[in-house]
Amino acid sequence: MKLTVIFPTNIIQWVVVVAGVVLTLSLTCTEVYGSESLQKAFEAIDEGRNYEAMRLLSQYRPSKKELPRYYYLKGRALEGAKRHRKAIGYLNRAYITAKDTTLKEDALFERGVAYLMSGFHYEAASNFRLFINLYPDSPLIQRAYLNYAQASQKTGNYVEALAYFRKVSDTPEAIFGKAEVFQRLGLFSAAHELYNTGLISYKNYIEKHPDILYYYAENLRIIGKTEQAKSLFYLLMDTYLRERAYLGLGLIEYTRNDMESAEMYLKKASESPDRVIRRQALLNLGRTSIATDQKNRAIEYLKVLRRDYPYTPESEAALLLLAELMRERKDYLQAEKYLREILFGRKPMKAALNELEILI
């Protein structure tokens, strides 16, 4: 009889050859996690019982040898409990202290996930770039490509994001990720085709991800399919994207010259906790007021934008509108002041230079 022992991650397999017949017997190996407590914590995490895992780990005092695995399990449990920022510290310690190559690989990957879920997109991109370089043959490589693409997209590195979305096999995350990149690059027709493909193939996924529905509605608005866009924006009213939907509806009504409806939606959008949405709403409220010849009200909106959100694209557009309004009033000194704020800020927009030429 020939006996062979194989050690994978957490299972011991005994391959026994008897009379030419191979028999495989398996049993759980608690030695992989060093103790019964760590093994139980691992099983709890695997089954989604993250708070139970944290309780088990808090009651256990690991040996020095067990520390890397203890840190890893604590980080995983915190991730599962959606405490991603706290998880980062434990996963970082697991990665630094681990001598086991598989554990080190897993810790690096999970640290990247924790960065991404915490909104630390630059750190997540750097983390997954390192993972891809260190572990090109990892079984996690496809997920690393996807996470790197998503992090790159969030940092505005759209070329890199698109390159890595294309490396990923067709999944809803990859298809809708590519669509959003095309949208942000101004390739609206290409984005529209991908959204249509995704909507047909992944209806259940979209129902769980209202952000996809929002970007599709924005795509429809931009390419002029406003009735379809409006119906999708209305579907978002009971989600966390409500104020974004109000902004989209306001912009649709503005292009239709229904300024009363536009103002109503834009005022609701201006109550958003999202600073970008508030900025865009204030700017378009200013434009709506100008269009209805309520220029004093427009000045109020634009001044709030200038005061509260300096050095943003919206504040620069507001300064240009304020300069134009002051020029119309023949208040040339104030118009010049607003233009100087643009010209001595970041690289001035061409429209600001043109307005200065008119003023001179």
d(CA 97, CA 68): 6
Percentage above 70 pLDDT, the chain: 86
Determine the pLDDT at residue 56.
80
Residues 91-146 have pLDDT tens digits of 999 999 999 999 999 999 999 999 999 999 999 999 999 999 999 999 999 999 99
| pLDDT value at 357 more than 70 | no
Tokens 């503005």: give the residue: 254
**Stretch 289-313: mean pLDDT:** 94
Q: Quick check: do 35-118 and 276-360 share a fold?
A: yes
* pLDDT, averaged across the chain: 86
Determine the pLDDT at residue 360.
47
Tokens 């970008």: give the residue: 276
Percentage above 90 pLDDT, the chain: 66
d(CA 101, CA 107): 10
The residues spanned by each domain of the chain are 1-33, 35-118, 122-167, 276-360
Residues 217-274 have pLDDT tens digits of 999 999 999 999 999 999 999 999 999 999 999 999 999 999 999 999 999 999 999 9
Identify the band that residue 287 occupies on the pLDDT scale cut at 50, 70 and 90.
very high
Q: What is the CATH number of domain 276-360?
A: 1.25.40
Single out the residue of 102, 98, 92, 128 nearest to residue 113, CA to CA: 128
- C-beta of residue 18 within 8 angstroms of C-beta of residue 2: no
151: tokens are 């992090």
Between 8 and 177, residue with greater pLDDT: 177
Q: Give the pTM.
A: 0.73
**Any idea which of 61-65, 194-198, 250-254, 314-318 has the lowest mean pLDDT?**
61-65
Return the SS3 of 189.
Answer: helix
Single out the residue of 100, 108, 115 nearest to residue 130, CA to CA: 108
Single out the residue of 160, 167, 175 nearest to residue 216, CA to CA: 175
Determine the pLDDT at residue 343.
80
Determine the pLDDT at residue 303.
95
CATH topology of domain 35-118: 1.25.40
Residue 266: burial class (beta carbons within 10 Å; 0-12, 13-18, 19+): buried
| pLDDT value at 34 more than 70 | no
Identify the band that residue 295 occupies on the pLDDT scale cut at 50, 70 and 90.
very high
**Stretch 28-33: mean pLDDT:** 40
